[in-house]
Structure 1
Amino acid sequence: MELLKQAICSPTKQNVQCVDEAFQSFYKDVRALIYLSNVIYYNAINYDKTMQKQYNREVLTLDQPLQGENEGPTHKDMLYHPSPDTIDGIACESMGDYMENPHYIKPFKP
């Protein structure tokens, strides 16, 4: 700002040249900053597009909605999730423990 005041108050060739050089330096810095800002902005957009394209290619079957709408329950939501209480209550260790009719259980003979 001081250089501009000096160039206006005493307009010598040296004062005007100093203002021009200061402005050119400032303008180069602004152009570099704008360029970097645009590079970051457009790379972020391209990254988002790439990730969205990859996500759409690798959509899991269980993550797809039940009725073709974008929101709502998915196939994954419909899976059976046993509660910890039911898992702890099961005391059977073999398939024979689950069988009600002993006629179906045959001893293993090698």
Structure 2
Amino acid sequence: MTDVLELDALWEDFHRVVNMTSQELAAWLRVRDSGEDAEALPGEAGTPTGRHVLAILQKRRTDLTGDDLRVMREVVETVDDETDAADEPAAEDTGLRHRLMTIGHDPLKP
């Protein structure tokens, strides 16, 4: 069980690394999954983790589940591992940028 201080820290860390709004993330997930043949339904666009991040962004802290907390920890860890505050990915590194955007972090966003 996560205590209140841990939950507060995780909530802050998650919202620090997820710098896209829920609208931006939803739009990105739809664009990312659209293709020549078919476009995913809005609720099914993106990766499972991306959809879960989107759902978390739409929740209040008191409504978080254990699964939400697990995903939040994974997202914070992934963004922290793949970025360096002093050396964010350059615009040319679109693969990394797009992977991070799929979980709500746009490295080119101030």
TM-score (norm 1): 0.22
Question: RCO higher in 1 or 2 (8 Å CA, sep ≥ 6)?
Answer: 2
User: Which entry has the higher C-alpha Rg, 1 or 2?
Assistant: 1
Q: Which has the higher helix share?
A: 1
TM-score (norm 2): 0.22
